[in-house]
Structure formats: structure tokens, C-alpha cells
Amino acid sequence: MKSTLVELSDRVAAAIVEVCPMPADQVDAQLRRAQDERFGDYQSNCAMGLGKRLGIAPRALADRIAGALTIADLCDPPEVAGPGFINLRLRAEYVAARLAEIPPAPAAGTDRLGLAPAESPQVVVVDMSSPNLAKELHVGHLRSTVIGDCVSRLLEFAGHTVHRVNHVGDWGTQFGMLLAYLRRTQPSVLERPEALRLDNLEEFYIAAKALFDADPAFAAESRETVVALQRGDADVRAVWQAFCTESLRHCHEVYDRLGVRLTDRGESFYRDRLAEVIDAFHSAGLAQVSDGATCVFLDGFTTRDGGPLPMMIRKSDGGYNYATTDLAALRHRVHELGADRIVYVVGVPQKQHLEMLFAAARKVGWAPDAFTLTHLAFGSMLGPDGTPFKTRTGGTVKLRDLLDEAVERARRVVENDAESGGRRADFDAVTIDRIARTVALGAVKYYDLSHAMGSDYRFDWNTMLALEGNTAPYLLYAYARIRSIGRKAGIQFDALSRETAITLSHPSELRLAKKLLDLGDVLKHVTVELRPNLLTDYLYDLSKAFSTFYDRQHGVRVIDAEPPALRLSRLRLCDLTARTLKLGLHLLGIDTVEQM
């Protein structure tokens, strides 16, 4: 079934064709959600541009279009306002009927709330997280990981096949140093590489680098080791593989805590494909030798002095760089994974590199114009003072430590309330721990996703964990509160059938119901734009609408509403709100709790 926005857009377009001498494929209804509910639910300003093109006063044209509209089954009579706006207000009966069509929640799997998947599913690769091995995940990886997971969830919910690729830095000259140091400090790795365990990757890297800088003999050994690795020496490769496995174990401990799943694809995977990249650009006549290096020169990219900016794909010594690897990865994703679209969840500073990568891929013929390449650029997470986020000693904040602190802060909030006899006084230690972990991880994710993608934001514990405002704790509490309403009412929400009639007689009921009906259009918009903050804004607005609905002064009675049919109608609105919150939070990568 069409969404309300699509259905109304089609009907406005049909009315335009009826009154204007123009082909249907040239019509744009220009229908949008009204910014102010005083002007209805939807608004079209199609008469503005059309009137100018046709030499008709926009207000007069709007009156003619409104008169031709056939929308009595959806809306009240249309209103024409101002210079020619057409305002549409949904009928309560239509909204109630649409909500009543939503099927019950399934016993297992994701609750789709009756939303159909995309008619034309695609294969999408989402490039996310992308750590360099030998170092712990730090706060700089949070945004790429969390945003990438959310985008993947949205695309998967829409029905697309998604490859969540973790482009891992597991190759390069630094590995000679690391492997040489590993053989010195843990010689048993040569006999039992599978048993390797490193408690602290950062300390290991720092110690290896210190020895490399201080000991020429070790530096020479390191260089010899990387040469052996690159030529495929079996013993060195075994140690390298053990080191990569151990480094990734540390990464996946954090990914598991965050509930993020992805597929590791190291740079080493493309090692045997790099020469093919060079051959392809040579065959296309696009590769040029500049100062001994093989480069590609792309239209529109210049140096600061206005000269052509080269994209180096092979160094003068015959080695390859990260541009070569990125081209090989893109080619693999298109030709071997069968991708229709690639989304790179990468920070703003990589803007030019990715623009050149996309331009090169299109020029060599790997990504035709119809193929979608998206750089989902994100800003930086800053400290409370607006400077780069650091530890008190000026070091990099490990993501694991950040999550630990979030859980501890959330646990203190729950425990303090329990000890003071508050709502959580009867919670046992296991329940408190579960709530604290869910709230903490949800708060970190939500705070990140609720900010505009390309902007920097300041990390703030107090705002992040607040129970008021546009935060995960507020939404998690709203969900838990609704679930408790069902328990107090002595009813199983899951038992409410589609036959339970929905009545929308109070303004707060209708406002909540309309907000619930918006879900499909919101998710479509969020999925197309890849802007998770639009979803967080929607969920926050939905929670506020529910709060007004359930308020005794501004809303309605629910648990003790009379007659029984009205009580069940309002309880069904409660259930649909809880299900919508749960689905929305799930798409953000956030779990819910039944009590809070």
C-alpha cells in the first residue's frame, strides 16, 4: 500500500494534469509535510511555479487545482492560503483506518509494523570502521562504526542486500617492525602462533617503535622482515597471521559490546589485485609516469598553485599505496560482490581522496554514471572544551575505556535511585547491570547519531545520559513506561488484534496517531538521505506526542478509560507507540529494556 505522502502526491499530480495543459511526466506535486500543524498536515506550493510558467495567478491556479482534487476519503476539504499554498488535513477516520491495518507484532524476527520492503532491492557495500591493526580501537572509530551500523540496518530493513565491510589496515612497512619485535619478546609464537595473546596492543606498539628508533640492528631486522612478508615467507606469514588475528580479537570485543557485526577485509586481501589496477589504467590510456611514479590525472583536481593534481597509484620504487588498494577494493566490490552502490562511512578530512577515487573509478569504466558512490562524511567528536577528545594526560581515548565509563556512570544513576527508594528500589543486581549496560551503550550511540552527520560535536556525559530531552535514556524510559502501562492495565499488548477498533476523538489522540502514521515516510527519507539524525528527531517527537497523549491534564485517560472499547483503542495506540519506538531504536542499533 502506498504511503500517505505518495498517495496524496499522486492525487495532487492528477488534479494538476486535469486543470493544466501539460504532460503527466512533467508534473511535480511539490507536496511536503506542513511545518506548522495550524496549516494542516501536508502542504503543496505547486501553484507558485506553475502559475508563473503558465501566466496564471498562483492563487487562482491553486483554487482550480484544489477544486479538482479527489481526496474526500483521505482529507478534509483542501484550503488555499496566502499566495497559493494548498493545505491538506488528514481525516481522523482515515488515520484510524490506516493504523488499524498494522498487523500484530511477529513472535520472532523484526517487527516491520506492516511496512513493505523496497520494490527494487540493491546490493550495497557499506565501508565502515576501518581500524589499523596493532592499535586499540579509539574514539575516532566510534562514528564510522556506529553510523555504518545504523546505515546498514536501515538499508537491510528496506530490503537491500548489505555487505558490511571492515576495511582493515593489516599490511605495510610497520608490520616488519611489529613482527620482528613479536619474535624477540614471544619466541613461542614461531611454534604456536595460534596461542598468541597480547594484553595491551598500545604498549606493544610503543615498545616496538622505541626499540626500532634506538637499535639500528633491530631496524635492519624489521626491514628484512617486511621484505620476507611481502615475498610470502611461510614462517613470517604465519606470525603475521597470528598477530592480525590477535589484533582483530581486540577489535571484535568492542564490536560485540556495541552489537555491531561486520566482515573484516584486510588490505592484504587486495595484494594480488594491485597489479591489475595498474594494468587497467595503462590499458585505458589513463596512467602517466611523473617523476618515476605512475599517476592518474583527473579533470577538476588541481594543486594550490593551479597545476594538475596527480593521483599516485604506484610509487617510483615500484611499491603501491593506499590509493591503489582503495581502487582494487572498489573494483572487487563492483565486479565480484556485484554491488549496485557503495557507501563509504569516512571522516570529512578524506573528502578529496574519495572524490578522486570516485572520479578515477568512473573514468576507467568501473563505475558508470548510474552506479552510486557515496561518501557519507562525518565530523569529529570533540571534548567538552571543543578541542580534540583526549585523556587527561593528552593521550588517545580508547573506545573500550569510553564504553566502560559510560556503563559505570549509568550504573550509578540506577543504583542511586534504587538505594533512595525510587522507581528502581526493587531491582536486583542483575537487572541493574542489564539496564545500565543498555542505557549506557544506547546513550553513546544515540548522542552520536542525533548530531548532523558532517558537523563536529562536543562530547558531554551529562547531556548524553540525561533522562530529559532528545537522548537515548529519555526514549528508553518512554518505551519502558508504555510497557508498564500494559502491565498495570492487566493486558497483553501482543493479544490486541487488528480487529480492535481505533477511535481518534481527542486532539492528543489524533496528533499521536498522525505521528505514528509518519513512520514509513520518515524511514524512506532517512534511508534515501542516509541521515540518522532525522530518525532520532522523529522518535523524540513521537515520545513527546505520547507524553501529551498520556497526560491527565492535556491528554486522555487510558487505563481507566470508559467505555471498554475506548480503553482498548487507547491501549492499542500505546502498543503501536512502543512498537514504533522499539523498531526505531533497533534501526539505530539500540536495544530496549522492559523496565527502567
For residue range 337-373, what is the model confidence (pLDDT) as tens digits?
Answer: 999 999 999 999 999 999 999 999 999 999 998 899 9
pLDDT at 233 over 80: yes
Check residue 74 and give its pLDDT.
Answer: 97
Same domain, 424 and 507: no
pLDDT at 414 over 90: no
| Whether 478 contacts 543, CB under 8 Å | yes
pLDDT at 336 over 80: yes
Burial class (CB in 10 A: 0-12, 13-18, 19+), 517: buried
pLDDT at 391 over 90: no
Average pLDDT over residues 254-272: 97
pLDDT at 531 over 70: yes
How high is the mean pLDDT of the chain?
A: 94
- Helix/strand/coil (H/E/C) assignment for every residue in 520-561: HHHHHHHHHHCCHHHHHHHHHHHHHHHHHHHCCCCCCCCCCC
Check residue 196 and give its pLDDT.
Answer: 94
Check residue 379 and give its pLDDT.
Answer: 96
Tell me the C-alpha distance between 139 and 388, whole Å: 10
Check residue 496 and give its pLDDT.
Answer: 82
Report strand pairing: 123-128 vs 161-168: parallel
Average pLDDT over residues 513-537: 97
Average pLDDT over residues 73-102: 96
Cell of 72: 474526500
pLDDT at 420 over 70: no
Tell me the C-alpha distance between 13 and 7, whole Å: 10
Same domain, 470 and 594: yes
Spell out the alpha helix ranges (H) of 20-84: 46-54, 58-68
Average pLDDT over residues 407-428: 74
**By percentage, how much of the chain surpasses pLDDT 90?**
85
- Helix/strand/coil (H/E/C) assignment for every residue in 418-441: HHCCCCCCCCCHHHHHHHHHHHHH
Tell me the C-alpha distance between 545 and 532, whole Å: 20
Among 261, 290, 315, where does a domain finish? 261
Average pLDDT over residues 41-47: 96
pLDDT at 416 over 80: no
Average pLDDT over residues 14-22: 91
Among 43, 73, 90, where does a domain finish? 90
Q: What is the CATH number of the domain that holds 79?
A: 3.30.1360.70
SS3 at position 65 = helix
pLDDT at 300 over 70: yes
pLDDT at 212 over 80: yes
Least confident of 101-115, 314-328, 374-388, 487-501: 487-501
Average pLDDT over residues 158-170: 97
Same domain, 403 and 493: no
Does 345 map to a domain?
no
Same domain, 233 and 187: yes
Cell of 68: 479538482
Does 203 map to a domain?
yes
Average pLDDT over residues 35-55: 92
Q: How far is CA 397 from the centre of its chain?
A: 23
Average pLDDT over residues 521-548: 97
Same domain, 37 and 12: yes
Cell of 277: 589496477
Same domain, 174 and 255: yes
**pLDDT digits over 132-150, tens only?**
998 899 999 999 999 999 9
Q: How many domains does the chain have?
A: 4
Check residue 1 and give its pLDDT.
Answer: 66
Same domain, 593 and 480: yes
Handedness of CA 130, 134, 138, 140 (dihedral sign): negative
Tell me the C-alpha distance between 592 and 111, whole Å: 14
Check residue 423 and give its pLDDT.
Answer: 58
Does 160 map to a domain?
no
**By percentage, how much of the chain surpasses pLDDT 70?**
98
pLDDT at 258 over 60: yes
Q: Using 50, 70 and 90 to split pLDDT, how confident is the model at 495? A: confident
Same domain, 8 and 73: yes
Check residue 426 and give its pLDDT.
Answer: 72
Among 210, 229, 261, where does a domain finish? 261
Angle formed by the axes of helices 532-550 and 142-157, nearest 10°? 70
Does 290 map to a domain?
no
Residue matched to cell numbers 606493544: 204
Exposure b/e, 382-412, CB count within 10 A at least 16 = b: beeeeeebeeeeeebbbbbebbeebbebbbe
Burial class (CB in 10 A: 0-12, 13-18, 19+), 527: buried
Same domain, 433 and 496: no
Q: What's the pTM?
A: 0.94
What is the domain range of residue 72? 4-90
Same domain, 484 and 585: yes
pLDDT at 421 over 60: no
Q: How far is CA 272 from the centre of its chain?
A: 32
Residues 6+ apart with CB under 8 A from 537: 450, 470
SS3 at position 366 = coil
Check residue 98 and give its pLDDT.
Answer: 95
Nearest one of 154, 170, 173 to 110, comparing CA atoms: 154
Check residue 555 and give its pLDDT.
Answer: 96
Residue matched to cell numbers 481522523: 92
Spell out the alpha helix ranges (H) of 196-321: 201-214, 216-230, 234-258, 274-283
Does 194 map to a domain?
yes
Does 496 map to a domain?
yes
Does 182 map to a domain?
yes
Tell me the C-alpha distance between 271 and 175, whole Å: 15
Residues 6+ apart with CB under 8 A from 389: 139, 380, 381, 382, 383, 397, 459
pLDDT at 481 over 90: yes
pLDDT at 562 over 90: yes
| Whether 407 contacts 381, CB under 8 Å | no
Does 276 map to a domain?
no
Number of other CB atoms surrounding residue 506 within 10 Å: 17
Same domain, 523 and 577: yes
Average pLDDT over residues 580-593: 98
Same domain, 470 and 570: yes
